[in-house]
Structure 1
Amino acid sequence: MSYTCGYHQIFLCFCLLFCFSLPFPVKSDELHLLLNLKSALNKSTTGVLDSWGAADSICSFNGITCNDGGFVKEIELSNQKLTGVLPLDSICQLQSLQKLSLGFNSLYGPISEELNNCVKLEYLDLGNNLFAGSFPDISSLTQLKSLHLNNSGFSGVFLWKMLEKMTNLTALSLGDNPLIRSPFPNQILKLKKLSWLYLANCSIEGKIPPAIGGLTELVNLELEHNHLSGEIPMEISNLHKLWQLELYYNNLTGKLPVGLRNLTKLENFDASANNLEGDISEVGYLNNLVSLQLFKNRFNGEIPSELGEFRKLVNLSLYDNMLTGPLPQKLGSWSNFDYIDVSENLLTGPIPPNMCNKGTMRGVLMVQNRLTGEIPATYGNCTTLKRFRVNNNSLSGVVPAGIWGLPVVDIVDIAYNRFEGPITSDIKNAKEMGILSVGYNILSGELPEEISEATSLVKIELNDNQISGEIPHGIGELKRLNVLNFHNNLLSGSIPDSLCSGVSISDINMAGNSLSGKIPSCLGSLATLNSLNLSRNELSGKIPDSLSTLKLNLFDLSYNQLTGPIPQTLSIEAYNGSLVGNPGLCSSTVELRSFKPCRPDSGMSKDVRVLIVCLALGAMVLLASLGCFLYLKRTERRDGDRSLKEESWDLKSFHVLTFTEDEILDSIKQENLIGKGGSGNVYKVMLSNGVELAVKHIWNTESNGRRGQSSTAPILSKRAGKAKEFDAEVQTLSSIRHVNVVKLYCSITSEDSSLLVYEYLPNGSLWDRLHTSQKMELDWDTRYEIAVGAAKGLEYLHHGCGKPVIHRDVKSSNILLDEYLKPRISDFGLAKIVQANSGKDSTHVIAGTHGYIAPEYGYTYKVNEKSDVYSFGVVLMELVSGKRPIDPEYGENKDIVSWICSKIQSKESVLSIVDPRIPDGLKEGAVKVLRIGILCTTTLPALRPTMRSVVQMLEEAEPCRLVGIAVGKDSEQKKEHH
């Protein structure tokens, strides 16, 4: 027998020996790698990683899928609230890994080039995270079929060239990242297998290349929110499989391309907010459309009648164009129609009657057209309607009774039409209605008492109608009421005292009626009242002294039957026109020369006058004695010269203190007063060690420490309000540690008042530096640093605290500046900490300052972080323009946001917005910040960036390059903008 091996046997033995000598991956190694991944990611509240244990089979781990050999093939951990830095050195040692899905988490930090070691990956999803820096070159991942990096936090330059080797890609999603601007990447045009392409909001500029028509497998194409210009290429009509085409918020011009009608599978088409023109006849062939959005363009001609036959159409938004002709009368008859917005066109004819056939309609928005006819009765039964706005048309007839009582409606706005008939008692069912606007019609009848049951009403505008009868007594039960416009009607009777119970009312206009009786003195207790117009009525009696305490922008009592002396504080030249037409009024001052001087009643006997004088003198002596006694007892508790030490104080410290309670109390005196505000007086305190502090003194009883009201109810109410405000500020600031948030050292409280001790900021507020007569010039570099610092402070409040803190009063006067002009967010009297179990936060009092308040306050009281983002956007506009939020220059009822948006038409007009004190060489950098401000003030809160994104965008802003304002006009919401 031969013991010699044949050649083939030797070769087989050699191969076996060689193979066993290689480092072959074993499952225990993969277990170790997965446990490394678990330790790197903080535990999620979903508990998804709890099943990952050392003794278990890796194939039983949550989110893990193995291949037939028992090795990890897929990791699916998306939307699991994971945080931490990805350990790619461990992950990419899983040699069979084909899918890595980690989207919708809170992962952060950079992504290293070690990702290239995951060579078998076919699916990679890192989108919707908080990564930083640029995305690495991953050219080696040639087997990728799906790449999702959208909204992941990546910035800088994206290496489009790496896509050339990824010819297997079917899905590419890179949108919503603050990338550096670049032309449309031609590398994408070579990816012939692409079916899903999402490049929205990633700074692509230039024209859409005609070669896009070669990607014939595309089902979804999204290029919105970029800087694209030129025409939509005709070749796009070759994409016969398109289901969705999104091109909105660019600078596209020209007409809709001929051949668009070939996209018969298209269900969602949005080319809004561009500069497109011509007719829209091509869309009349797209009979599978579910959503059609072409608003804010220059389209003309008629709406294709074929839209009335579309069986799937549920959303139609064509507002702000120049469309003419009638609306298709069968529109919305066939599907679960959702909303229509065709406002601001030149449309004629009647309202289509059947859009709520299926009972799903949420919005009818047809503002400012030339529509005629009546409101179809069917809409009175449309219980899903949230907004019904048809103002500024030529509509007529009686409003269907059901319209007044729609159960979930936010706004009913039918002003500036020819409607007649009454407001019916059905309004008691409108529990969610915030705005009722019916002015400038010919409505008649009495205002139903049931209006008091529409408890969500914020604004009632009934002016310029023929409404008669008395004002319902229950009007005061509307606790959220802010605006009450009843002027120019036929109302009679007295002004109800219940109106004084409104806690947030700011505007009362009852002019031009037949109201009689006395002016309720309790109107003087409406601390939020800003405008009071009771002119052209039949009011009698004296002007209540309590009105003197109000701080009104508009005050008009002219042309009534008022008598008696004009209160001293109202006897000024500025109020001459506000009081004319009342021949019974008299004035004891020379300022109002047009009124007769007041004098004693000549019909009174001399003895009676002497008796009255004696009694008055006696009363004055008694009051003076009492006043002196109270002054001696309490003058120091009202910021006088004596010490506050007589009271019992409770000190709570939040930092290590280098001062004593007595040092603070001894410094609360008049000569140290540096400011007054609605929440209290502010004093500057110089400690013995040279440290300067700021102390806010808040009275717990009444604003400004006033006493002596006749009723205890307002006192208790104000006391509760001050206490709540103080608690809010202490709760918010005591736990905050951030360089851009003002530091609260301690609180010192007593029964009557409270003290908050802050760090002292010597350079005042940003408002002072920008707008006051003593303003200090701020160069652009300083303004930019203030913007970034303030943004970081707000970012910390929203994202860095245990629970998000909503400031609710962000404005330039609440951004204080230290000795180096570094900003601090201050004044947290309105702040609210969002509780984890509270859902969407809301409040029943409008918080904030006019000019900074987000527009959603006009129809809802919902408050969230995006409300702060809007206010901060206004601050950015102040920094860039140097202008105030509210200014007569902008026109009636306009603010800085609408003014700036009206001027965004060309590069030259945009540059004209920039403060002329900023040198020309720096204006382009300022425009980049302006663009961020525009994004922050988008009407729809959901479209506003988070403060984390705002900080990233500001840090990416380079002063040397101009970011074109591709938003074209103001970034309004896509839907239900009115």
Structure 2
Amino acid sequence: MRISFSSLLLYISSISLAFSISSSTDADVLIKLKTAMIGPEGSGLNDWKLSSSPASHCSFSGVVCDERSRVTSLNVSFVPLYGSISADIGLLKKLVNITLSCNNLTGRLPVEFANLTSLKLLNVSNNNLGGEFPESIVSGLPDLEILDLYNNNFTGMLPTEIVKLKRLKHLHLGGNYFEGEIPAIYSEIQSLHYLALNGNGLSGSFPASLARLANLQELYVGYFNTYEGGIPPELGSLSSLRVLDMGGCNLSGEIPATLGSLKLLDTLFLQLNRLSGPIPAELSGLVSLKSLDLSNNNLTGEIPESFSELSELKLLNLFRNHLHGRIPMFIADLPNLEVLQVWENNFTFELPENLGRNGKLKNLDVATNHLTGMIPRDLCVGGRLQTLILMENYFFGPIPEELGECKSLTRVRLMKNFFNGTIPVGIFNLPLVDMLELNDNYFTGELPRQISGDNLGILILSNNWIIGEISAAIGNLAKLQTLSLELNRFSGEIPQEISDLKMLSKINISANNISGKIPTSLAYCKSLASIDFSRNNLHGEIPTEISGLKMLSTLNLSRNQLTGRIPTEIRSMISLTTLDFSYNDLSGPIPTGGEFLVFSPSYFAGNPNLCSPHNLSCLSAHNPTQASGRKLSSSFNSSKLIITISLLLGVLLLFVFSVKKIRGYWKKHLKSKDWKLTPFQRLDFKVEDVLECLKEDNIIGKGGAGIVYRGSMPNGVDVAIKRLVGRTNGRSDHGFSAEIQTLGRIRHRNIVRLLGFVSNKDTNLLLYEYMSNGSLGELLHGPKGAHLHWEARYRVAVEAATGLCYLHHDCSPLIIHRDVKSNNILLDSEFEAHVADFGLAKFLQDAGASECMSSIAGSYGYIAPEYAYTLRVDEKSDVYSFGVVLLELITGRKPVGEFGDGVDIVRWVRKTTSEILEPSDSAAVMAVVDPRLSGYPLAGVINLFKVAMLCVEDHGEARPTMREIVHILTNPPPSARASSLLR
């Protein structure tokens, strides 16, 4: 057939036109996708801009086109994006691959995905997509091979339509909120190589039918799923399986011996379950196994001798079980072993002598067993050993000199054993060691003259037999935070070089033979929170410079030979909670007022020349004028005695005659004499009603500033009565002025309401609305903390943030709280949060400005870095403290005291999350989240975790404002607002 030239031109022209239309359609679709995906932030995909070139869209980042400029691949990850996926994506008909992972996309998956009939890969993992999975989208995707929806917010039951995807090789539905049972029909997806359902809320029995997935290579089904029953023995028929991860999903029963048939398996994770019985010897058939984790179960028996055949094994975790017997000698001969962790079991006998000779050992933790013998000499023969933890066993003998040359070591914990001999000098000079705990042993000798551990943060040598002086070289440990040398035989003086330890937070040298004076240079250690110099031979006076340590909470100088007076400056140390000056030779009066009002008399016992404020005879001995006056008056004592007795008898008869009237008078009038009630609203009670409640039985809290009572008023209303120590004027009013000025002028639902105050010339009583559920700190860290579920915690975070936002942005002048902490967030009968305790509050005239304080105020663990170093405070200081509260809500841990001395919750969270091998938001949260929580919405926790980490940024300008925080918390992704899944 002949075609004319003109017809040919027309044909070519029509093809060109069609090509032009199709390419421009793809370009337009991409621009629409961009508009939808960048969301309210308005940034991202900046190079997605059309030009005059018809194929300009093919040069967009993440876009791949075919020879006709049709989009075949779309890979946009880690941008991030904050919008949603437009339904227009279904117009990109030639798409083969879609990867939109690791963004912040929200909304639902468009059903228009079903139009992408050529699609082979769909990856939208690590977003905030939600709702039920639209099963209809799989009907038009016959060629789909990879479907990855990991770490989103999908809900409902696991989709069953997926079984129609006959070419599907990779299915990842983990990290969502799917519930119900695993569909048994998933066994029909015979093409599957990879199946991940971990991190959901699945339940029911684990289906044995999945054993029919003959091509399956990786199976992840644990973490937050809670199955009934045990591991199906049928899984032993998955001959292609390389990874089996069933950790943390409530499995019970014994480990099936059939798993030993999986010849290709290199990873077996069954930790954090309720598995019992012995470890099957048949697992030795796992000849390719590299990682075995059976920790945190109820396993019994011994390590099977057959495990000597596991020549590829790198990681062996058996900790927290009930295993016993010997750690087999063959363990040391495993050629590739890097990690051996068997702590908290009942192992006995010695460690294998050859342990470490394979040259690959990195981590050894055998703590809390019944092991004995000496430390194997070759643990670090390969120069890779990082962690050595042998604590709480029965080891003896010296530390091998070879460990003093192990430059790779980062942590050494050998406490509570029977080690003896001299500590190798090299141990104190290892460049990477950050923790050295050798306490509760029988070490002898002296500290070396050369100490230079560049990273040493914790040095604990307490309860040994170490002698000699404390080496001046201790000052070389620039990063030292904890120094514990108590219960040894140290002598000499405290070295002045201690002042070089700028990061030191705790020093304890008690129960030694230390002499000399307390060095005044100690005041340069501004981070000190605890000093214990008790039970030594220190002499001289207590240096007044100690009062400059504004973070000090514990000061124990008892049982020394200190003389002179107690510095009155100490009473201004508001952070001081524990003080002990007992059994010295101090003299003069005990200072009154300030912090001395809350210290027990026992803290000053054993000082015969020390005067109580109420001991007039002692005081007069130190006051000659008063003593001479007393002597002069003694001559009149005899004559006065008769007159005094007569008068007393007369008064007694009068008292007996009118006892009822006198008692009533005292109760109603004399008791309230000079007291004044100042209300801030109408009150239906009187001064007498308040004073009647100041009884020991009504005390509900004590603190450095005073005592809090619960008072039941005659009208049936309960109030909280805060009795402040100190007077109403001067610097010792313990926050009375600040509290009155602040709470007396503001009204907000999430700020505790000050009803009024009662005062006389000596005492102030603040009256608040009563909060029946106490403080967040008491509830969260007490026995009831396990019942504070996620919804309640998130609600408290929002309400507390709202209260602080009011202070920072809606008050004029703005108010800085300066003592934001969980104990100052009170909960009413409905668990609604109210910010309380404004005793340290300050007014700022200009938002964004800062004010220089004369000293640090606040609570240890909550104080912002710039406040501690520069004494400058602004609203971002409150933001940091609030971030610490958020971390308490997430982790369930206290801000200090649970992570080792000198480590607070912020440092612990940063360190813990940085050690995750495969970092991600969900992995970070799961590493630190409160183990008492269950069924929480992961996206909601991640949302709060991100906010918390923003709040505790080291630099104030990097932190959000409270207004921004409230916006983030009250407008979270849909999944973050989901109901708690507590079961």
Query: Into which bin does the TM-score normalised by the smaller protein fall?
Result: 0.5 to 0.7
Cα gap change, 1:302 to 1:482, in 2 (>3 Å):
same
What residue ranges of structure 1 are gaps of 5+ in the alignment?
A: 1-24, 611-639, 644-662, 665-669, 683-701, 710-717, 724-728, 730-738, 745-759, 773-777, 798-806, 871-899, 905-925, 964-978
CA shift for structure 1 position 180:
4.1
> Distance in 2 between the 1:550 and 1:539 partners?
20
| Mapped partners of 1:80, 1:765: distance in 2 | 47
Query: Residue 483 of structure 2 aligns to which amino acid in structure 1?
Result: I
Q: 1:566 aligns with which of 566, 590, 605?
A: 590
Displacement of 1:278 after TM fit?
0.7
The answer (yes or no) to whether the contact 2:423–2:444 under 8 Å persists in 1 is yes
Superposed displacement of residue 432, structure 1:
2.5
Contact preservation (8 Å) 2:421, 2:442: yes
Aligned to 1:398, which of 414, 417, 422?
Answer: 422
Q: Quick one: which of 462, 465, 476 aligns to 1:442? A: 465
Alignment partners' CA distance in 2, 1:480 and 1:329:
40
Contact 1:135 1:154 in 2 (8 A): no
**Structure 1 residues 865, 586: CA separation in 2 closer, same or farther (over 3 Å shift)?**
closer
Conserved in 1, the CA contact under 8 Å of 2:344 and 2:367? yes
Matches within 5 A, 1:70-85: 74-85=73-84
> Closer, same or farther in 2 for the Cα pair 1:135/1:931, shift >3 Å?
closer
Asked if the contact 1:75–1:99 (Cα under 8 Å) also holds between the matched residues in 2, the reply is: no
Deviations 1:276-300, CA, capped at 9 Å, x for gaps: 1111134333121111111111111
Are residues 1:97 and 2:119 paired?
yes
Please point out which of 789, 793, 800 is paired with 2:795: 789
Paired residue type of 1:56? A
Distance 1:280 1:225 in 2: 22
Q: Map 1:898-977 onto structure 2 (within 5 A).
A: 955-958=979-982, 963=983
**Alpha-carbon deviation of 1:386?**
1.9
Residues 93-126 of structure 1: per-residue CA shift (max 9 Å, x gap): 2221101223344555654334323332101122
Among 204, 214, 234, the alignment partner of 2:237 is: 214
Match of 2:528 among 500, 505, 509: 505
Report if the CA contact (8 A) 1:500-1:523 is conserved: yes
Matches within 5 A, 1:466-485: 466-485=489-508
TM-superposition CA deviations, 1:339-397 (whole Å, max 9, x none) = 11110011111222233333333211111011122112222222332211000111111
Q: 1:276 to 1:703 in 2, by over 3 A?
A: farther
Provide, for residues 405-447 of structure 1, a one-character-per-residue CA deviation record: whole Å limited to 9, x for no partner. 22232211000111112222433x2232221111111111211
The answer for the alignment partner of 2:957 in structure 1 is: none
- Pair 1:251-2:274 in alignment: yes
Q: Distance in 2 between matches of 1:373 and 1:491?
A: 28
| Secondary structure of the corresponding residue to residue 490 of structure 2 | strand
Counterpart of 1:306? 330
Please name the residue that 2:36 is paired with: 40
Counterpart of 1:852, as a letter, is K
Deviation, structure 1 residue 853: 1.8
> Structure 2 counterpart of 1:188, which letter?
L
Give the AA of the match of 2:823.
Answer: S
**Counterpart-to-counterpart distance in 2, 1:444 and 1:933:** 55
Contact 2:181-2:203 at 8 Å conserved across structures:
no
- Identify the range of structure 1 (469-478 vs 253-262) with the bigger mean alpha-carbon deviation: 469-478
2:390 aligns with one of 366, 371, 377: 366
Q: Secondary structure of the equivalent of 1:442?
A: coil
Structure 2: which amino acid aligns with 1:196? E
Show the counterpart of 2:900.
858
Out of 537, 552, 565, the position equivalent to 1:529 is: 552
What SS does the aligned partner of 1:273 have?
coil
Tell me which of 213, 238, 241 is aligned to 1:191.
213
Matched to 1:50, the amino acid is D
Report the CA distance shift for 1:94/1:603 in structure 2 as closer, same or farther (over 3 A): closer
CA gap 1:431/1:707 in 2 versus in 1, 3 angstroms: farther
TM-fit CA distance, 1:864: 4.5
Q: Would the aligned equivalents of 1:301 and 1:323 in 2 still touch at CA under 8 Å?
A: yes
1:599 paired with 2:624, answer no
Of stretches 398-407 and 353-362 in structure 1, the one that deviates more from structure 2 is 353-362
Q: Are 1:580 and 2:595 an aligned pair?
A: no
From the superposition, tell whether residues 340 and 404 of structure 1 become closer, same or farther in structure 2 (CA, over 3 Å).
Answer: same
- CA deviation map 1:210-241 (0-9, x unaligned): 01101111100101111111111111101111
Aligned match for 2:225, one of 190, 198, 203: 203
Aligned to 1:326: 350
In the TM superposition, what is the alpha-carbon distance from 1:242 to its structure 2 partner?
A: 0.6
1:280 corresponds in structure 2 to 303
- Contact in 2 for aligned 1:842/1:862 (Cα 8 Å): no
Write out aligned runs for 1:710-729 (5 A).
none
**Which residue of 2 is the match for residue 823 of structure 1?**
833
With over 3 angstroms needed to count, the CA separation of the structure-2 counterparts of 1:357 and 1:810, relative to structure 1, is farther
CA distance in 2, matches of 1:784, 1:105: 21
Q: Check 1:600–1:259 CA distance in 2 against 1; reply closer, same or farther (3 A cut).
A: closer
1:86 maps to 85
Overall identity of the aligned pairs, in %:
30
Query: CA contact under 8 A between 2:864 and 2:880: conserved in structure 1?
Result: no
Letter in structure 2 aligned against 1:479: K
Query: What is the alpha-carbon distance in structure 2 between the residues aligned to residue 328 and residue 198 of structure 1?
Result: 34
Give the partner amino acid of 2:409: L
Match of 1:496 among 519, 523, 537: 519
Change beyond 3 A, Cα 1:784–1:221: closer
Shift of 1:478: 2.5
Report the CA distance between 1:79 and its aligned residue: 4.2
- More displaced, 37-46 or 84-93? 37-46
2:94 counterpart residue number: none
Tell me the SS of whatever aligns to 1:115: helix
Partner residue of 2:774 out of 757, 767, 786: 767
Q: CA deviation at 1:555?
A: 3.3
Q: 1:99 to 1:413 in 2, by over 3 A?
A: same
Aligned residue for 1:85, secondary structure, equals coil
Assess if the C-alpha contact under 8 Å between 1:111 and 1:131 holds in 2: yes
What residue in structure 2 maps to residue 316 of structure 1?
A: 340
Counterparts of 2:211 and 2:365 in 1: how far apart (Å)? 36
Deviating more after overlay: 217-226 vs 48-57: 48-57
CA contact (8 A) 1:85 1:108 kept: no
Q: Which residue of 1 aligns with 2:854?
A: none
Summarize the Cα distance change of 1:420–1:122 in structure 2 as closer, same or farther, 3 Å threshold.
same
Q: Is the 8 A contact 1:102 1:127 kept in 2?
A: yes
Asked if structure 1 preserves the Cα contact closer than 8 Å seen for 2:128 and 2:973, the reply is no
Task: Give distance in 2, aligned partners of 1:608 and 1:956.
Answer: 75
Counterpart-to-counterpart distance in 1, 2:353 and 2:236: 36
**Partner in structure 1 of residue 47 of structure 2:** 50
Compare 249-258 and 84-93 and name the one that shifted more: 84-93
Q: Partners of 1:558 and 1:235 in 2: how far apart?
A: 68
Q: CA RMSD, aligned part only?
A: 5.6
The structural deviation recorded for 1:333 is: 2.9
How far the C-alpha of 1:199 sits from its partner, in A, is 1.2
Q: Could you tell me how far 1:47 is from its partner in structure 2? A: 5.7
Q: How many residues align?
A: 745
Deviation at 1:138, TM superposition (A): 3.3
Mean Cα deviation higher: 309-318 or 84-93 = 84-93
For residue 119 of structure 2, give the secondary structure of its aligned residue in structure 1: coil
Change (3 A) 1:80 1:586: closer
SS in 1 for 2:792: helix
Residues 230 and 252, structure 1, Cα contact 8 Å, conserved in 2: yes
SS at match of 2:439: coil
Q: CA deviation at 1:465?
A: 0.6
Determine the C-alpha separation between the residues in 1 that align with 2:474 and 2:785: 54
What is the deviation of 1:42?
Answer: 1.6
Helix, strand or coil for the counterpart of 2:251?
strand
Residue 844 of structure 2 corresponds to none
**Cα separation, 2, equivalents of 1:186 and 1:138:** 20
Cα distance in 1 for partners of 2:942, 2:420 equals 39
Match for 1:389: what amino acid? R
| Partners of 1:204 and 1:51 in 2: CA distance | 45
How many Å separate the matches in 2 of 1:490 and 1:82?
Answer: 65
